[in-house]
């Protein structure tokens, strides 16, 4: 059956302006980091992408190394763009990144102009696109001058291969320096993509202020802490969880202590009082106060996307709720 997008999709989603730009992003965006690659079932990924778009998610976030294997998430999304999403390209914000290792040799990772330009050319080919809406430097390069990396982003925009540029994983000082260089070049920074959740709040120590002061948007990855801030880990570690999968880095069984589970249970109790799941409250918390443009979710099934988007039904927190959450996190 030919896919036809839900005609009511734009009435269900909240859209936030990205810094001082003309672009609005959905409050919930979908990342294709895992579960959309060559080792995953295409039909499941297809169903998730369809549902996301039907719910008003217009922003789809990729990177050159997403899969697994690397590159396969872009290939999968490229297939969707040729089929189901073919009529809807101009209704979407599509982003990709480069910074982590993609091929052997001295030009296959980090932040040189050679690598960034070559990587984006490959990404565009995999997705069948002439341009992406946002292209990110995925991580700062400790050896390449920041001026070279930013000049590469500027060049890519001037070549018409990206409309806007972003940074990911840059600290406050690095971001401020990058913003100054990009402003001088005439390609202002649109957005920063940091890791941010209840369990990882480092951006509150300077980065958020830099972004606000310079009119730059922000989109948090891992706002659910790779599933920790969901109902999945409230009692134990499920055998099918990310923490038990050797193919997924950054979250290990040893990280999930009895102390952490206790905190998750306390947070879950507050969520229940709000009429939300822990995941929904965690997304609402990340979006509180309007400083975050969008929360970037991952998903392995359609129901997770539906649950996460429903977080937008209750974004308000009382002072008492925020105080209780902070006390749990500090304990």
Q: Is 19 left (phi over 0), alpha (psi -120 to 50) or beta?
A: left
CA–CA distances in Å: residue 62 to residues 9, 36, 67, 74, 125: 22, 10, 9, 7, 14
Q: Quick one: average pLDDT of 126-133?
A: 98
Average pLDDT, the chain: 95
Q: Is 35 left (phi over 0), alpha (psi -120 to 50) or beta?
A: left
**Confidence (pLDDT) at 244:** 46
What are the sequence ranges of the domains in the chain?
Answer: 22-225+286-314
Length of the chain measured in residues: 331
Q: Quick one: average pLDDT of 40-54?
A: 97
Query: Is the pLDDT score of 40 beyond 90?
Result: yes
Query: Is the pLDDT score of 250 beyond 70?
Result: no
Mind listing the pLDDT tens digit for each residue in 252-263?
667 788 899 999
User: Which residues fall within 8 angstroms of residue 147, CB to CB, at 6 or more apart?
Assistant: 181
**Confidence (pLDDT) at 235:** 84
Query: Is the pLDDT score of 266 beyond 50?
Result: yes
Mind listing the pLDDT tens digit for each residue in 135-187?
999 999 999 999 999 999 999 999 999 999 999 999 999 999 999 999 999 99
Q: Quick one: average pLDDT of 118-137?
A: 98
**Of 22-36, 116-130, 233-247, which range is least confident?**
233-247
Distance CA 96, CA 170 (A): 16
Asked if 116 and 152 touch (Cβ cutoff 8 Å), the reply is yes
Q: At 328, is the secondary structure helix, strand, or coil? A: helix
Homologous superfamily of 22-225+286-314: NADP-dependent oxidoreductase domain (3.20.20.100)
């Amino acid at each position: 059956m030919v896919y036809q997008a839900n005609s009511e999709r734009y009435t269900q989603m909240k859209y936030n302006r990205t810094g001082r730009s003309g672009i609005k992003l959905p409050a919930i965006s979908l990342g294709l980091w895992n579960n959309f690659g060559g080792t995953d079932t295409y039909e499941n990924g297809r169903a998730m992408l369809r549902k996301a778009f039907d719910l008003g998610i217009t922003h789809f976030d990729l990177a050159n190394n997403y899969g697994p294997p690397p590159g396969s998430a872009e290939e999968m999304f490229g297939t969707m763009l040729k089929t189901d999403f073919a009529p809807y390209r101009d209704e979407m914000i599509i982003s990709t990144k480069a910074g982590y290792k993609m091929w052997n040799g001295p030009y296959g990772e980090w932040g040189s102009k050679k690598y960034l330009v070559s990587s984006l050319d490959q990404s565009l080919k995999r997705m069948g696109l002439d341009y992406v809406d946002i292209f990110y430097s995925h991580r700062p390069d400790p050896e390449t001058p920041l001026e070279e990396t930013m000049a590469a982003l500027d060049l890519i925009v001037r070549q018409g291969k990206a409309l806007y540029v972003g940074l990911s994983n840059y600290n406050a000082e690095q971001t401020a320096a990058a913003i100054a260089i990009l402003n001088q070049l005439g390609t202002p920074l649109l957005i920063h993509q940091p890791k941010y959740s209840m369990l990882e709040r480092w951006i509150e120590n300077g980065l958020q202020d830099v972004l606000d002061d310079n009119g730059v948007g922000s989109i948090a990855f891992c706002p659910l802490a790779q599933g920790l801030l969901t109902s999945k880990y409230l009692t134990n570690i499920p055998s099918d969880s990310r923490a038990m999968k050797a193919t997924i880095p950054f979250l290990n069984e040893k990280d999930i202590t009895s102390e952490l589970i206790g905190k998750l249970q306390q947070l879950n109790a507050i969520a229940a009082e709000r009429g939300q799941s822990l995941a929904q409250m965690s997304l609402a918390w990340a979006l509180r106060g309007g400083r975050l443009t969008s929360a970037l979710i991952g998903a392995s099934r359609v129901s997770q996307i539906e649950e996460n988007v429903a977080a937008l039904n209750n974004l308000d927190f009382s002072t008492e709720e925020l105080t209780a959450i902070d006390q749990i996190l500090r304990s």
